[in-house]
Amino acid sequence: MSALNKADPQVARIVEAERRRQSETLELIPSENHASTPVLEAMGSVLTDKYAEGSPQKRWYSGCKNVDDIEQLAIDRAKKLFGAEHANVQPHSGTTANLAVYLAALTPGRKIMGMDLAHGGHLSHGMAVNASGQFYKVVHYGVRKDTEMLDLDQIRQLALKERPDLLVTGASAYPRIVDFEGFGRIAREVGCPMLADIAHIAGLVVGGVHPHPFPHADFVMSTTHKTLRGPRGGLILCKKQWARKVDSAIFPGYQGGPFMHSIAAKAVAFFEAMSPQFTEYAKMVVRNAKTLAGQLTELGWRLVSGGTDNHLMLIDLRTRREQLTGEKAAQWLASAGIVTNKNLLPFDTRTPGVTSGIRLGTPALTTRGMGEQEMKTIAGWIDQILKSDGEQTLISKIHEGVLELCREFPVPDNPYQTAPEEIRHARNISNPRCKLQPG
């Protein structure tokens, strides 16, 4: 960053502060991760200069030979990684990608059926103030009140009554396996296509620790920056018959020029995700989540649906302390260097700004090489802080422990050069992303 340092120290200082924040805190927000240095390098390349509206070999601009090569490579890798018939790697984000699927599959005014945001769904699945809720009719399904899990019989009944034109599956705060095969059966019975939104779980899907959405889904949408550990961006995969509609929904439907630097970084991330280390990583993410969830449960905290099958969990704060809110809990944890987010629980009586729950996930900590022992330590800290009513001396003491753990597990420069077990014990690896070298 020396060029930036010299030219614009003001920006450089803030970037450096963020790098430092990441290295000195425990990142438990389940939608976040640490991209590898090769991914960051591709993102920061000269490809950002190039305009390339269109698709490989069919551009509106000259000089596209190199970006054609990079986009074709990203497409080929995405198809291989997900076993897809067609891939569009241009979406700037997950939300844009979902909107593009709607544009490809539906005319405005038709009906989408997706999971309720308040039960763990995503705003792009028909939230009233999102474009998806304004351009389409929306029906929402949620989890059962008793099990806090999706009930396919209930969802089938609703689908048969409502007759949606597109069935949307996937969530941002659902700790259980999504039964894509079961959803696919419902879509076929209703006679509508199905979109599987795997934004959160894409890394688990390619790592083989979550069932695959194909061949049950007609469209699969993902982000590339969550469990997939790539650059910030989106991705659409679909069956061949939808290829042209999807491509023209992205361009010229929702976007102009693609971000070629991001597409290059996506290609790098897809390549990384094909490695055996990534499969190990995905397994470890789930194992760590189960350990963290198990330990929190043992310490007396009730988790939504009683646990987790994937990378995330939701703590029901009310079960231990009726007055405790997600807002307060997240603040206390953050002041000890434990970064989480407040989250509505299914059937929550509080507002989205306050909430009765917090959401925790293990993708970023697992990238740092942490394992089950560290999960137990962290569960203990969370328990103590939440029980103490944010007692300041306790928070300061735990913060010391957090810093020590961060020093022991620096954010790796390139997690693919070191297997998780090796990272765990590599206390002396030099890591340019981490100023805090282990002493």
Positions touching ligand PLP (CB under 6 A) are 31, 93-95, 98, 122, 124, 170-172, 197, 199-200, 223, 234
Angle 434-436-439 from CA coordinates, rounded to 5°: 130
Catalytic residue among 27, 116, 197, 272: 197
| Widest pairwise Cα distance in the chain | 64
Catalytic residue among 16, 24, 53, 179: 53
CA angle 204, 263, 23 (to 5 degrees): 60
Taking the complex as a whole, how short is the minimal distance between the CB of residue 309 and ligand PLP, in angstroms? 16
Residue corresponding to tokens 């890394």: 203
Q: Is residue 252 reached through a cis peptide bond, with omega within 30 degrees of 0 on the bond before it? A: yes
Report the C-alpha gap between 231 and 223 in whole angstroms: 9
Report the alpha-carbon distance of residue 189 to residue 230 in Å, rounded: 36
Is residue 223 annotated as a catalytic residue, yes or no?
Answer: yes
Whether residue 272 lies in the annotated active site: no
Q: How far is the CB of 112 from ligand PLP (least distance, A)?
A: 13
Residue among 86 and 125 whose Cβ is closer to ligand PLP: 125
Residues forming beta bridges with residue 162, ordered by sequence position: none
- Output 94 or 164, the one with its CB closest to ligand PLP: 94
Q: How far is the CB of 360 from ligand PLP (least distance, A)?
A: 15
197 is catalytic: yes
* Helix (H), strand (E) at residue 113: strand 111-115
Report yes or no: 312 and 283 within 8 Å, Cβ to Cβ: no
State which residue, 164 or 170, has the beta carbon closest to ligand PLP: 170
120 vs 369 by CB, closer to ligand PLP: 120
**Tokens (6 digits) for 180:** 């894509």
Q: Tokens at residue 66, please?
A: 């190199």
Rounded to the nearest whole angstrom, what is the least distance from the CB of residue 114 to ligand PLP in the complex? 9
Q: Is the CB of 98 or the CB of 366 nearer to ligand PLP?
A: 98
CA–CA dist 133, 127 (Å, integer)? 5
Catalytic-labelled residue, pool 25, 95, 223, 367: 223
Residue nearest to ligand PLP (CB): 94
Residue 226 annotated in active site: yes
**Would you call 245 a catalytic residue per the annotation?**
no
Of 77, 226, 290, 359, which residue is the catalytic one? Answer: 226
Give the catalytic positions in this structure: 51, 53, 197, 223, 226, 232
